[in-house]
Amino acid sequence: GAGVSQTPSNKVTEKGKYVELRCDPISGHTALYWYRQSLGQGPEFLIYFQGTGAADDSGLPNDRFFAVRPEGSVSTLKIQRTERGDSAVYLCASSHGQGEGGYTFGSGTRLTVV
C-alpha cells in the first residue's frame, strides 16, 4: 500500500482481556518496527522484524507482549492479560534495510484498558 496501515485505530478493552493489533507495512519494506507512545512522551521501541524473524525484541516490557510476522509482511502485536498501564498509542513503522534513512510510521492504534 501507499503507507503503513494500522488497525484498529482505537481499541477499548477491559483489564485482563487479550488484544491483537495489526500492522500492514509499505509494500516491499523488509523491516518492521513496533513502538509504544504514552501521553506526552516520545515513542519507545518494542520490537524489530527483519523479514519474518524478530531480530530484536529487547523492548518488549514483559512476557504478556508478543508479536509475529509470519509471511514477512503483515505483523500482529498481541497483548495478553491487559493491564491499565498498557494504555498507550501503539505505533508501527516500516523501512528498507535497517532504517538508516528513517522510518515511515502508521497512525497508530490507541489502546485504552479500562
d(CA 49, CA 70): 10
* Residues lying near another protein in the complex (CB under 8 A): 4, 33, 35, 40-45, 48, 55-56, 58-59, 91, 93, 98-108, 110
Q: How far is the CB of 95 from another protein (least distance, A)?
A: 10
Q: Beta 10-13 vs 31-37: how paired, if at all?
A: unpaired
Assigned C-alpha cell, 78 = 498481541
Cβ count near 29 (within 10 Å): 18
Q: How far is the CB of 80 from another protein (least distance, A)?
A: 24
> Nearer to another protein by C-beta: 80 or 98?
98
d(CA 45, CA 34): 6
d(CA 48, CA 75): 11
Q: How far is the CB of 103 from another protein (least distance, A)?
A: 7
Q: How far is the CB of 39 from another protein (least distance, A)?
A: 11
> Nearer to another protein by C-beta: 14 or 27?
27
> Nearer to another protein by C-beta: 82 or 109?
109
Helix (H, G, I), strand (E, B) or coil at 32: strand
